[in-house]
């Protein structure tokens, strides 16, 4: 079985101080996709760069203390490629792709628009570029049979079941009609599969992966499901189980782990 974990760490150093390292050593995912690492390459200590049993790969944001994605791989990839060919957002460190024979795993961190209109506009620009990039991956899948698993914080809750207070968030970034329609297009016309939802179509509150730090959201489970593993249909059909780990808190997100009937 292929075990893949996705987690927005909200600062990789903070997550390791809160116990992420021992948890990885215990759960042993074959690939751990990290988002919002918030670190520069020069600041990566060896235990963060290559935890025991893993090779680490990173795409850092140019801006210090901002964004960035990473991959911890238990088996070396044939190639690891950052970015999607868009200078504006590649500078923010949002995409990192690893390739093995017949399969690619991508750690991806979509922008948040919650800080204001300027960032919401940037989010929409990202979605336009990302949609074209996703179309290219799907073309690659159809032409070569390569499967893709895109792991990460997409900063969009897709449907009402995906967040607690959906009525109160209809005009807020992350649940805007335009964002949700875009994700519906990705998961509809474009042919991508929301793997967790394929396994557990009725899961509600137990499916949340992020909780605001405001107003006792964690204690009251006022959460959102914004972390996904979105895949091409072939590998999605080979997903066997999924879990969201909440016994410990490494960040304001919870790790999403999915097991696939696949061997690297």
Catalytic residues, by residue number, are 153
Which phi and psi (to 5°) does residue 229 adopt? Answer: -120, 110
Distance CA 9, CA 20 (A): 9
Q: Please report the sign of the dihedral spanned by the C-alpha atoms of residue 32, residue 26, residue 226, residue 237.
A: positive
Rg (CA), the chain: 17
Distance CA 26, CA 22 (A): 6
Half-sphere exposure of 182 (CA within 13 A, CB side): 22
Q: What is the DSSP string of 204-264?
A: -GGG--EE-SSTTTTTTT-EE--EEEEE-HHHHTTEEEEEE--SS-SSSB--EEEEES---
Distance CA 1, CA 103 (A): 14
Distance CA 22, CA 250 (A): 11
Find, among 192, 115, 110, the residue nearest to 157 by Cα: 110
Distance CA 190, CA 125 (A): 18
Distance CA 188, CA 197 (A): 13
């Amino acid at each position: 079985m292929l075990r893949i974990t996705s987690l927005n760490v909200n600062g990789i150093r903070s997550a390791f101080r809160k116990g992420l390292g021992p948890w990885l050593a215990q759960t042993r995912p074959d690939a751990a996709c990290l988002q919002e690492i918030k670190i520069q390459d020069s600041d990566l200590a060896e235990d963060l760069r290559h935890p025991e049993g893993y090779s680490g790969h990173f795409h850092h944001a140019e801006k210090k203390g901002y964004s960035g994605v990473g991959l911890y791989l238990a088996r070396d990839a044939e190639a690891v490629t950052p970015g999607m060919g868009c200078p504006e957002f590649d500078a923010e460190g949002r995409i990192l792709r690893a390739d093995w024979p017949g399969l690619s795993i991508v750690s991806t961190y979509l922008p948040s628009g919650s800080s204001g209109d300027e960032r919401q506009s940037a989010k929409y620009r990202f979605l336009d570029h990302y949609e074209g990039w996703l179309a290219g991956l799907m073309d690659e899948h159809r032409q070569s049979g390569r499967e893709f698993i895109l792991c990460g914080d997409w900063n969009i809750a897709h449907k009402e079941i995906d967040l607690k207070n959906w009525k109160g968030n209809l005009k807020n970034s992350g649940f805007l009609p335009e964002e949700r329609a875009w994700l519906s297009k990705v998961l509809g016309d474009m042919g991508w599969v929301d793997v967790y939802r394929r396994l557990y179509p009725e899961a509600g509150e137990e499916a949340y992966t992020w909780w605001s730090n405001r107003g006792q959201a964690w204690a009251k489970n006022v959460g959102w499901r914004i972390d996904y593993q979105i895949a091409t249909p072939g590998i999605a059909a080979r997903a066997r189980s999924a879990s969201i780990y909440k016994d410990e808190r490494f960040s304001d997100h919870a790790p999403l782990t999915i097991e696939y009937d696949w061997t690297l």
